[in-house]
Structure 1
Amino acid sequence: MSTSTAPHRIVFANEKGGTGKSTTAVHVAVALAYQGARVAAIDLDSRQRTLHRYLENRNETERRRSITLPTPRFAVFGGESMAALDALTQDMAKDADFLIFDTPGRDDPYARHVATEADTLVTPLNDSFVDFDLIGQVDAETFKVRRLSFYAELIWEARKKRAMATITEKRREMDWVVVRNRTQHTEARNMKRLDAALTELSKRVGFRIAGGLSERVIYRELFPSGLTLLDKGHLGELGTSHLVARQELRSLVAALGLPLPGGREPELALGRIG
């Protein structure tokens, strides 16, 4: 991408907490940095600051170990107006190929604002109907989708407006990707019902479904150091579960289909990671 091109905006958004949103955002950001992309990240959760703290820890590990790690530029938004958010966004977008937003796990006007402006919207969900309720409601007996949620309708309207803007303003169409995290604990019958409901809703709303990151202790263990599964030269000897988790991450980044600098294919570039 040239410096005159607006960065590709990736927004990680879910109004429910505990879905692995920040963990996924950090790992995708670092994966893109490893592929030579210039990445900037904004944490919109000024309370928890999980993405911001993770990357702060990463910088501290670099200093402590005297090593260099691919790391995005990052900031936390603590302003109180859309104008302030837009100003920070404009500043962080300078010379960036990708601009990543990590949003709070709650209803938040700033999160909605950036979600409707996303080029790629990533919504991580745990495999449960509690999380599914964020995007749609199902019948209690048949588990068929009864209606869209308010959030799904919001994104649906934003995508329709974007589709018109792709012609008049030459903007990218919004790609909405629902990422299914923590699938290994899901009981077989429940998973089958979720599969059917997600497939039905994806056809109605237009999102894609991608496999995400399973729940593993490794992600929680990496937070204090700011390291990721891609930093294999700094992680010591890895067990089988770590290697499986890294492959999950590589598959997820490839599934997102993000436009890499120089027009490279994500699958080919990822082959050089790990």
Structure 2
Amino acid sequence: MSDDGTKAVSVIGFIGSVFSPWYAWSGRKDPANHCCINVATYGRGGRFTMTDRGRDALQTTPDRLQVGPSSMHWTGRELVIEIDEISSPPLISRLRGRITVTPHALTSVEMLLTPEGTHIWRPFAPSSDIKVELQAKGWQWSGHGYFDANFGTRALEQDFSFWTWGRYPTKEGATCIYDAVRRDGTTLDTAIAFDAQGEARIVKAPPRRRFKRSLWQVMRETRADAGVMPKQVLPMLDAPFYSRSAVQTQINGETVTGVHEALDLDRFASPLIKPMLAVRVPRRKGWPGA
């Protein structure tokens, strides 16, 4: 998010694009044949890009992920993201530029999201500086960000029915909230605090608190002290099954504002959703030139 709170950006590199209808229709048997670098910018003039590409577009090394014309490169000190994409309807345009993420510290922890380890969360840098340099008026800014990853061996909707996550900068570093309802009826209820050195510890957070639903009526909740109602302060991504926004809440006496997401996997599992997604997630099999 920008320092003034008016803009934000998210970039996700997928090998096996979990939200791609093309990957789902393929049977999810060949992750490398359904890869993408998803870029979304939020605020005035925001764009969304998510092109599902084939294995010819994928190149990887230990410190570099390239999918078609866009890439992520770890220099040893910072993550440099080079973007060259075309945004989805209704605002079709080219999105180019560079985003640099500089961690305050790197962690050495990961968390199992299911007892079997079919889904794993890896918070590489929960607290980072971000510099955005896009080729568009007003899209050169600095702010606060993070760098994490998820790994899985099964589809999200196989193991979860609902999922909510939040990452909130704090005076000491950052607090991440991971709450979910699993298909077996058990729940994930976890709050992790990271200090300035990247050290992690499980902390007790206040109870879940539901707040206003998204425009698509996706249920949203996060943690909040008694008597405090969380609220959206910057809309980001709103889909029939997914909400991402900047949310303000209060946790253990500290007022915090961070990125929050809610994912309704019952809705996502509906066959009606896949054709809708195909409009926003085009498929380009070949590379280069496609």
TM-score (norm 1): 0.30
Higher relative contact order (CA 8 A, sep 6+): 1
Structure ranking higher in helix proportion: 1
Structure ranking higher in strand proportion: 2
